[in-house]
């Protein structure tokens, strides 16, 4: 084995609306989840969202005042990474062993106003009598400078758990999650670090999110797109043993939003399989998120034709979770490999069937045409 095929992918952990335990989540995939109430007016668009419960950070000794300066995304990321690190090295002395572990994260953004909508609302409640600039100066949260920065979620994880290896923070869409996976695996393969924590988190649920969805989408379908909250993490470690899960191949590209005849997705899948040394017939499971543009949908369905009965659309159960769809997908593959099972859809019916194929394929689309593909299978086969 050489290069990336020597890097073991393991310890997937997640925090999502379906729970934060793989037993619950895996078992729950068979039944549709009931979304909660989205935090925005229902006359605008979908009023539902897959809302994750507030993560519990007290076990990690995070100061309550610090927690108040963090976005929920950062809190979910911290909890996801924390569970992974607990599982990796439970008990005392673990921080020293984590030194020089890398962190590679896909981090989304939402154009939320600072200060928040509530401040704008109260400004109006006073009939706009207050000076506008003075209001903004007064009401801008003191730590908004930190929450403005995408890397803050990484910084919280590093400072809390003592990670001080290489870092990369990619923004902001679904392909960012696979970029974190690909580059994290390369960092381990090229001995920049012995272990890399790889993760991604979903987009913040904000009343302005539907604006973005409506803009990126190509029509009414996007009005039905349910946002979701999730963070999903895994560990990449050097020296994979035979049969460990590894990244076998990948490809990244960009599909014009206007070209519905482009074969970008097919091409990238072909490149990925070639890199991994597998044929299409070797793929036993294909997981993807939902493309945004009609052109991308066309392209994906053409590409998936060869894999028709093997496809699992991640958003059907988890909602639109942005970059987290990629690491969530990797987590599902790793969990499926452990159980030797895969979830497949037959229309609206979901079935957990035996998984005996050597590899699984992940296809991630982003709103502006970015596509990333990854092939995961066992080492040394």
Among 12, 369, 375, 376, binds other proteins (CB under 8 A): 369
Between residue 65 and residue 94, which ones bind other proteins under the rule CB under 8 A?
A: 66
Q: In this complex, which beta carbon is closest to other proteins, that of residue 147 or of residue 290?
A: 147
First to last CA, the chain: 9
Q: Which is nearer to other proteins, 109 or 316 (CB)?
A: 109
Q: Which of residues 2-31 bind other proteins (CB under 8 A)?
A: none
Say how far apart CA 234 and CA 83 lie, in whole Å.
10
Q: Does residue 112 touch other proteins according to CB under 8 A?
A: yes
Stretch that binds other proteins, among 26-34, 134-142, 310-318, 329-337 (CB under 8 A): 134-142
Show the beta-strand stretches assigned E in 25-161.
Answer: 36-37, 48-49, 102-106
Looking at residues 41 to 60 of the shown chain, list those that interact with other proteins (rule: CB under 8 A). Answer: 41, 43-44
Of 1, 67, 117, 238, the one binding other proteins (CB under 8 A) is: 117
Site string for other proteins, 280-319 (x = CB under 8 A): ----------------------------------------
Cis, peptide link before residue 325, omega less than 30° from 0: no
Query: Count residues contacting other proteins (CB under 8 A)?
Result: 78
Alpha helices in 2-116 (DSSP H): 22-28, 64-68, 72-88, 94-98
368 lies in the site for other proteins, by CB under 8 A: yes
Contact, 100 vs 165, CB < 8 A? Answer: yes
Distance in angstroms (rounded) separating the CA atoms of residues 302 and 300: 5
Pair 221, 259: CB distance under 8 Å? no
256-281 as b/e, with b when 16 or more CB fall inside 10 Å? Answer: ebeeeebebbbbbbebbbebbebeee
- Told to check if 173 binds other proteins by CB under 8 A, we report yes
- Which one, 218 or 256, has the nearer CB to other proteins? 256
Q: Rounded CA gap, 242 and 200, in Å?
A: 27
Nearest approach, Cβ of residue 24 and other proteins (Å): 31
Which two three-digit tokens encode residue 323? Answer: 């970059």
* Residue where the block lists tokens 């925090």: 15
**Residue ranges in 199-258 that form contacts with other proteins under rule CB under 8 A:** 207-208, 210-212, 214-215, 252-254, 256
Strand partners, 361: 286, 375
> Which residues touch 29 (CB under 8 Å, ≥6 apart)?
18, 317, 343, 350, 352
Q: Which span sits near other proteins by CB under 8 A: 133-141, 282-290, 296-304, 340-348? A: 133-141
How far apart are alpha carbons 307 and 359 in whole angstroms?
Answer: 13
**143 touches other proteins (CB under 8 A):** yes
Is residue 1 at the binding interface for other proteins, with CB under 8 A as the rule? no
Nearer Cβ to other proteins (159/306): 159
Binding of other proteins at residue 121 (CB under 8 A)?
Answer: yes
Return the residue of 171, 266, 316, 345 that touches other proteins, per CB under 8 A: 171
Minimal distance, residue 179 CB to other proteins, in Å: 5
């Amino acid at each position: 084995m050489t290069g990336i095929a020597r890097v073991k992918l393991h310890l997937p952990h997640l925090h999502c609306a379906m729970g934060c335990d793989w037993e619950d989540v895996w078992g729950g995939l068979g039944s549709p989840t009931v979304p909660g109430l989205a935090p925005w007016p229902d006359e605008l668009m979908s009023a539902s969202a897959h809302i994750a419960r507030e993560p519990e950070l007290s076990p990690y000794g995070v100061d309550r005042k610090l927690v108040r300066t963090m976005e929920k995304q950062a809190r979910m990321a911290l909890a996801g990474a924390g569970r992974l690190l607990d599982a990796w090295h439970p008990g005392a002395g673990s921080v020293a062993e984590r030194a020089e572990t890398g962190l590679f994260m896909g981090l989304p953004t939402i154009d939320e106003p600072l200060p928040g909508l509530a401040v704008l609302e109260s400004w109006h409640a006073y009939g706009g009598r207050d000076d506008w600039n003075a209001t903004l100066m007064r009401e801008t949260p003191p730590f908004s400078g930190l929450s403005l920065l995408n890397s803050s979620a990484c910084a919280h994880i590093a400072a809390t758990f003592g990670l001080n290896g290489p870092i990369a923070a990619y923004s902001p869409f679904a392909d960012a999650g696979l970029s974190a996976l690909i580059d994290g695996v390369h960092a381990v393969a090229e001995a920049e670090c012995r272990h890399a924590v790889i993760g991604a988190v979903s987009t913040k649920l904000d009343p302005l999110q539907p604006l973005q969805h409506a803009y990126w989408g190509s029509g009414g379908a996007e009005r039905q797109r349910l946002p979701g909250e999730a963070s999903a993490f895994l560990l990449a470690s050097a020296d994979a043993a035979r049969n460990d899960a590894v990244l076998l191949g990948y490809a990244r590209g960009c599909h014009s939003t206007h070209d519905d005849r482009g074969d970008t997705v097919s091409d990238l899948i072909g490149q990925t399989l070639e890199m991994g040394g597998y044929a299409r017939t070797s793929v036993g499971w294909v997981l993807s998120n939902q493309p945004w543009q009609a052109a991308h949908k066309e392209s994906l369905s053409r590409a998936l034709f060869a894999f028709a009965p093997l496809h699992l659309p991640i958003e059907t159960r988890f909602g639109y979770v942005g970059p987290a769809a990629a690491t969530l997908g990797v987590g599902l593959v790793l969990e499926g490999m452990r159980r030797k099972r895969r979830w497949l859809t037959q229309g609206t019916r979901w079935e957990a069937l035996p998984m005996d194929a050597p590899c699984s394929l992940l296809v991630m689309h982003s709103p502006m045409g970015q596509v990333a593909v990854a092939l995961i299978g066992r080492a040394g086969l």
